[in-house]
A and B are shown apart, each in its own frame.
Chain A
Amino acid sequence: MNSNEKRLYVENTLSQQLILFWLAGNTLFTILYVNNMDVTSRLGLFVMVNIGLSLFAFLVAVRQKVYMLQWAYLGIGLAFFQFARLFWIPEEIVNPIRLYAQVLLVSTSVAALVGSIICVQRSRERQAYIDENNIDRAILQK
């Protein structure tokens, strides 16, 4: 059976779940981080950025579930951004919290990257199948 035919009806839950893992890991990271930060204006900015990131990640998860290629690329961006945060951990965060934070950042960025690459691959194959077989757009309509 052609797995691309299945993808016309079955959602991309693997990518969605990996991005949701990013969301959960990032929430944990935020809690750890905030508990150990000095109370400065940076703290407020950090919390606001993370709320924004969480909302964005949720959108990425929902859109990747329905094979949206642009959102797969945004998911890759999210993964690289998370990885880059490894180099922004301030000095006041010390071990073992620093280590936990690093583990969370690496694991979530890997999850987002894998999920998004899977989504890119599946979305392309699915789109190619739709184009090759002249699938009526009405079939894909919700």
Chain B
Amino acid sequence: MHELVLKNIDKIYPGGVQAVYDFNIEVEHGEFIVLVGPSGCGKSTVLRMIAGLEEITAGDMLIKGERMNQVAPADRDISMVFQNYALYGHMSVYQNMGFSRTIRHEAIDILHEKVMEAASVVQLDEQLNRYPKNLSGGQRQRVALGRSVVSSANIILMDEPLSNLDAKLRVESRRALTKLHQELDNTFVYVTHDQTEALTMATRIVVMSEGRVQQIGTPYEVYHQPENMFVGGFIGSPPMNFITGNIENGRFIADGFDLAIPDHLLAIVGSFSRGPIVLGVRPEHFKNWAAEGHEPIKAEVASREYLGNHALLYLKIGSFQCIANLRLDRAGAEADASELYIDMSTAHFFDPQTEMRIKSQEEMA
């Protein structure tokens, strides 16, 4: 049985604004689902509907097979970590973490045991007597997380819990969250606009835009097999480059360059004769050294960002602006960027009308 099922979920606010359109997902126990998308895409609304903080306009929400649309938030067996942590300032860490059980009047021994276990998991054993005002941002975030752990809810919802942390702490917290997920074996549903968080922590990613699901897949699938141009452009930093051109005689022809299309791609897009087609190339698939079958393209380097072991080149190729991400571990790599190669074996083609990726018959099946 699925742990959580969202079936044809719509959310329409009283003013008539529709925030979520036909949201569908089936979540298994122990999954780490990350909802990712730009601001205003409806990801937090979905999370709040799961939590019961927003009413579901249409569709069904099931937890362990039981319909939960009208069930009160407290009875849904879920806990939530908020972006601002929502800690009680007048309570110590111990009291904050045990709050969900205190209000249920649970025996003090059980409460103590649960809080000590959770404190050990989130590494707050030595801060249990402290008040939130005396904790760092990362520690506060762990208190909020610990509170969820103490509640022993099956599903833990998190609404951008790392967004208030600095970059270093965010990296540490990402690792801690992944470890926590492995230790607890609970189902996590996590909302973020940061695609790095999504790629590093998720077992499955739900990419959303304008209230609609764009793609649901593993981090690998979302990155390497984007469903459409939105996903290709949103997931990955820097984003995927899109170049519009045509296919003629087995070659992709665009303003300023033309390239041979590998056989496996030609088999997919060879019959695409509806006019222009969009080539999608990840920045790291630009090379400044030739491998077998690579053809050079002429590119003008508009600017360059040095990033240690790699460099970002802002390119002008014909009339297109592109970003290339070049590794600098080869001799002379930095200097020689005037002639570039595109690894076409990893490229994608998109239909400019529908913006969907053109797939092989096998993928369609």
Take A136-B126, A139-B128 as given contacts and tell me if A10 and B108 are in contact as well, using a CB distance cutoff of 8 Å: yes
- Flag A1-45 by CB within 8 Å of B: 1 or 0 each: 100011011100000000000000000000000000000000000
Q: How far is the CA of A138 from the CA of B113 in the complex (A)?
A: 21
Contacts of B113 in A (CB 8 A): 1
For window 101-137 of B, CB contacts with A under 8 Å fall at 108-109, 112-113, 115, 125-126, 128-131, 134
Chain A interface residue count, CB cutoff 8 Å, equals 12
Q: Is the CB of B129 within 8 A of A1?
A: no
Q: How far is the CA of A10 from the CA of B102 in the complex (A)?
A: 12
Contacts of A10 in B (CB 8 A): 94, 108, 112
Q: Which residue of B lies closest to A139 (CB)?
A: B126
Q: Which residue of B lies closest to A138 (CB)?
A: B126
Partner of B112, one of A6, A139, A142: A6
- In the assembled complex, B92 has its CB within 8 A of some CB on chain A: yes
For window 110-142 of A, CB contacts with B under 8 Å fall at 136, 138-142
Contacts of A1 in B (CB 8 A): 109, 112-113
Q: How far is the CA of A8 from the CA of B92 in the complex (A)?
A: 12
Q: Is the CB of B131 within 8 A of A142?
A: yes
Contacts of B131 in A (CB 8 A): 142
Partner of B92, one of A5, A6, A9, A138: A9
Interface of B is mostly: helix
Interface of A is mostly: loop
Q: Is the CB of A142 within 8 A of B108?
A: no
Contacts of B115 in A (CB 8 A): 9
The distance from the CB of B106 to the nearest CB of chain A, in whole angstroms, is 13
Contacts of A136 in B (CB 8 A): 126
Q: How far is the CA of A5 from the CA of B119 in the complex (A)?
A: 14
The distance from the CB of A112 to the nearest CB of chain B, in whole angstroms, is 24
Q: How far is the CA of A84 from the CA of B278 in the complex (A)?
A: 95
Q: How far is the CA of A106 from the CA of B209 in the complex (A)?
A: 71
Contacts of B108 in A (CB 8 A): 6, 10
Q: How far is the CA of A1 from the CA of B130 in the complex (A)?
A: 23
Q: Which residue of A lies closest to B131 (CB)?
A: A142
- Flag B87-99 by CB within 8 Å of A: 1 or 0 each: 0000010100000
Take A9-B94, A10-B94 as given contacts and tell me if A142 and B109 are in contact as well, using a CB distance cutoff of 8 Å: no
Contacts of A6 in B (CB 8 A): 108-109, 112
Q: How far is the CA of A9 from the CA of B130 in the complex (A)?
A: 10
For window 131-158 of B, CB contacts with A under 8 Å fall at 131, 134
Take A1-B113, A6-B108, A10-B108 as given contacts and tell me if A142 and B130 are in contact as well, using a CB distance cutoff of 8 Å: yes
Q: Which residue of A lies closest to B133 (CB)?
A: A142
Q: Is the CB of B112 within 8 A of A141?
A: no
Q: How far is the CA of A51 from the CA of B200 in the complex (A)?
A: 62
Contacts of B125 in A (CB 8 A): 139
Q: How far is the CA of A77 from the CA of B94 in the complex (A)?
A: 32
Contacts of B109 in A (CB 8 A): 1, 6
Q: Which residue of A lies closest to B110 (CB)?
A: A1
Contacts of B94 in A (CB 8 A): 9-10
Q: Which residue of A lies closest to B126 (CB)?
A: A139
Q: Is the CB of A141 within 8 A of B92?
A: no
Contacts of A138 in B (CB 8 A): 126
Contacts of A140 in B (CB 8 A): 129
Q: How far is the CA of A136 from the CA of B130 in the complex (A)?
A: 14
| B126, B129, B130 interface centre (most CB from chain A within 10 Å) | B129
Q: Is the CB of B128 within 8 A of A141?
A: no
Q: How far is the CA of A5 from the CA of B94 in the complex (A)?
A: 13
The distance from the CB of A11 to the nearest CB of chain B, in whole angstroms, is 9
Q: Is the CB of A9 within 8 A of B129?
A: yes
Contacts of B129 in A (CB 8 A): 8-9, 139-142
Q: How far is the CA of A141 from the CA of B127 in the complex (A)?
A: 8
| A1, A8, A136 interface centre (most CB from chain B within 10 Å) | A1
The distance from the CB of B347 to the nearest CB of chain A, in whole angstroms, is 57
**A interface residues (Cβ-Cβ under 8 A, vs B):** 1, 5-6, 8-10, 136, 138-142
Identify the 4 closest CB pairs spanning chains A and B, nearest first: A9-B94, A6-B112, A9-B128, A139-B126
Residue pairs across A and B with Cβ atoms less than 8 A apart, 13 shown, are A1-B112, A5-B112, A6-B108, A8-B128, A8-B129, A9-B94, A10-B94, A10-B112, A136-B126, A139-B126, A139-B129, A142-B129, A142-B131
**B interface residues (Cβ-Cβ under 8 A, vs A):** 92, 94, 108-109, 112-113, 115, 125-126, 128-131, 134
Other A-B pairs, 12, CB within 8 Å; known A9-B128, A10-B94, A139-B128: A1-B109, A5-B112, A6-B108, A8-B129, A9-B92, A9-B115, A10-B108, A136-B126, A139-B125, A139-B126, A139-B129, A142-B130
